Each structure stands twice: as C-alpha cells, then as structure tokens.
Amino acid sequence: MKINVVDHKGAHHELEAPEGYRVMEVIRDYDVGIKAECGGACACATCHVYVDKEWFDKIPEPTDEEIDMLDEAFGVEDNSRLSCQILTDDSIDGITVYLAPGTEPEEKTGDRAA
C-alpha cells in the first residue's frame, strides 16, 4: 500500500508503506522531515498532519486523548490528526496527508568534526 505525504515545502512524496504501522512511523522512516519527538506516544503533537478532506471521514475517529493533545499543536483545522494515531492498513491505501506547521524537525547544527 501507498501513502502520499506533502511536506512543509509543498513537495509531494509517495511512500510505500507496510501495513500495521503508524503513518508517522512511515513518514519518519523515509526521512521526509517530521519532528515526532515523543516517538508515537500521543504525547507531544509534533506529528500533526492535515488529512486530505476526501480521506478524513474514512479513517477511524480520534480518541479523546488525541483530541486533547491537538491542543498543543498549531494551526489546528477540522481535518487535523496526529499521524502517530493513524494506522496503516488497506482502508487507507492511497491516503494523502499534509505536514502541519510546527512539526518541522529542529534545525540541524552544521555537522562538524572538531
């Protein structure tokens, strides 16, 4: 199955996703650029995405915990979700998500060898 991810700069990534993972894990694994700092514990809101409106109603509804956690995200819209709470399975094959502002990874300090 595939998921489509639009990154912070608007670039489109089509990612081959294994089933049974979390959308955040797939985005992170392909190094698209998402902070996701709590690692999927629904505890930081730094994997916030906008789910394409056509897909939003097709995925299982968020838990109260996820809705609460969205309070620490920025630019929350009706189609906001935390991508660590969306599981990859057949029913979302072809889904498109947009990385939300405030989920950019920390700017990298220039690599250096002293």
Which distant-in-sequence residues (6+ apart) come within 8 Å of 56 by Cβ?
A: 78, 79, 81
Q: Does 16 bind another protein (CB under 8 A)?
A: no
Residue 108's contacts (CB-CB under 8 Å, 6 or more residues apart) are none
Q: Is 114 in the site for another protein (CB under 8 A)?
A: yes
Task: Give phi and psi for 113, each to the nearest 5.
Answer: -115, 120
CB of 50 to another protein, least distance (A): 14
Instruction: Give the footprint of another protein on residues 41-70 (CB under 8 A).
Output: 41, 43-46, 68, 70
Closer residue to another protein, CB minimum distance, 84 or 92: 84
Q: Which amino acid is at 53?
A: K
64/90 with CB nearer another protein: 64
Residue closest to 26 by CA, chosen among 109, 95, 102, 80: 95
Asked if 113 touches another protein (CB under 8 A), the answer is: yes
Residues engaged in binding another protein (CB under 8 A): 35, 37-39, 41, 43-46, 68, 70-76, 101-102, 106, 108-114
